Amino acid sequence: MFCRNTSSRLDAELLACHVCGCDRAAIYRDPNTPVTATQHKRFMQLAKHRAGGQPMAQIIGNTEFWSLSFAVDTNVLIPRSDTETLVETALDLIPTTGEPVIADLGTGTGAIAVVFATERPQATVLATDLSAQALHVASRNCRAHRASRVVLAQANWMTAFAEIKFDFIVSNPPYIECDDPLLANTDIRFEPRNALVAGPDGLDDLRVIVKQAPRHLKQGGYLLVEHGYNQASQVRQLFAERGFQRTTTQRDIGNRERVTFGRKA
């Protein structure tokens, strides 16, 4: 069912490790180790889910991001390598000294917030999400990584901030068009739609974030957002309309325009 190509073989190995409670090295080290009937039945059940397109991260309940392990379920977007571009770009700007205050909007698993707390332990991170279920997952991940300086809040973007001002506002919001065929034809159909879709052009949430950000940024503070590979020029225009300076777009590992950031004058 799985071993037609390298990716399928890897999936099979990861499922076997998950069911048997071992690491991948054990599969090659002890290839003749017997499995129980229960383990075999469970493997076949999970294999059917994977064959049907359900993401591996949801099936085994975790994924790796920034070399850290994060709990995942059907209530959150699965962290992807594209978002590491957002994190890397932000870390290049966030100082290693002082005590910066950072907002992570639409935190989902909490992966971005946890990485900031790990890489900049002197920072305070306020991470928000509209979904209570997503915040439950984020809370698990914060505890697992002892990210005690991450504060979680249920909010629709910046509605929980009152008069708080930040040095950095960072977000990986929904940015897929509502009629994008990917929503029906790829593995993302198993992920929460409200974490993916943002109106006819995919920019509804980005418009709100860019509009709200100046009020909640300190002078000289930065807004950084992830967006679709074909949305960069439109996002830069949104930044310009709100008076952001030094607006720049970074490319991801596939050389696609993926992250735009700007500085509040």
Domain of 101, CATH number, reads 3.40.50.150
Answer yes or no: is 58 within a domain. Answer: no
The pTM score is: 0.88
Q: Which residues contact 133 (CB under 8 A, 6 or more apart)?
A: 75, 76
> How many Cβ atoms sit within 10 Å of the Cβ of residue 59?
18
If you ran DSSP here, which 8-state letter would residue 80 be given? -
- Summarised one tens digit per residue, pLDDT across range 178-203 is 999 989 888 889 999 999 999 999 99
Are both 36 and 72 inside the same structural domain? no
Are both 155 and 227 inside the same structural domain? yes
Contact 101, 166 (CB under 8 A): yes
pLDDT at 2: 34
State the total domains in the chain. 2
With CA atoms as reference, report the closest residue to 171 among 124, 228, 112, 92.
112
Decide which of 4 and 35 is more confident: 35
> How many Cβ atoms sit within 10 Å of the Cβ of residue 49?
15
Answer yes or no: is 221 within a domain. Answer: yes
Contact 70, 110 (CB under 8 A): yes
Are both 177 and 233 inside the same structural domain? yes
> How many Cβ atoms sit within 10 Å of the Cβ of residue 130?
15
Does residue 25 have a pLDDT over 90? no
Exposed, middle or buried by CB within 10 Å (0-12, 13-18, 19+), for 167? buried
Range of the domain at 29: 6-52
Answer yes or no: is 1 within a domain. Answer: no
Using 50, 70 and 90 to split pLDDT, how confident is the model at 54? Answer: confident
Are both 26 and 131 inside the same structural domain? no
- Summarised one tens digit per residue, pLDDT across range 131-181 is 999 999 999 999 999 999 999 999 999 988 888 999 999 999 999 999 999
End-to-end Cα, the chain, rounded Å: 57
With CA atoms as reference, report the closest residue to 191 among 105, 63, 103.
63
Read off φ and ψ for residue 65, nearest 5 degrees: -145, 130
Strand partners, 152: 127
Are both 31 and 89 inside the same structural domain? no
Q: What is the mean pLDDT of residues 71-97?
A: 96
Are both 71 and 187 inside the same structural domain? yes
pLDDT at 67: 93
- Helices 132-144 + 111-119 axis angle, to 10: 30
Pairwise CA distance, residues 240 & 258, whole Å: 17
Using 50, 70 and 90 to split pLDDT, how confident is the model at 51? Answer: confident
Are both 43 and 121 inside the same structural domain? no
Are both 149 and 44 inside the same structural domain? no
Q: How far is CA 65 from CA 11, 57, 70, 94, 136, in A?
A: 18, 11, 7, 19, 18
Does residue 5 have a pLDDT over 50? no
If you ran DSSP here, which 8-state letter would residue 256 be given? -
Mean pLDDT score across all residues of the chain = 92
Answer yes or no: is 154 within a domain. Answer: yes
Answer yes or no: is 71 within a domain. Answer: yes
Are both 99 and 36 inside the same structural domain? no
Are both 42 and 81 inside the same structural domain? no
Answer yes or no: is 94 within a domain. Answer: yes
> How many Cβ atoms sit within 10 Å of the Cβ of residue 9?
12
Are both 42 and 77 inside the same structural domain? no
- Both tokens assigned to 189: 């159909």
Are both 82 and 198 inside the same structural domain? yes
pLDDT at 1: 30
pLDDT at 141: 98
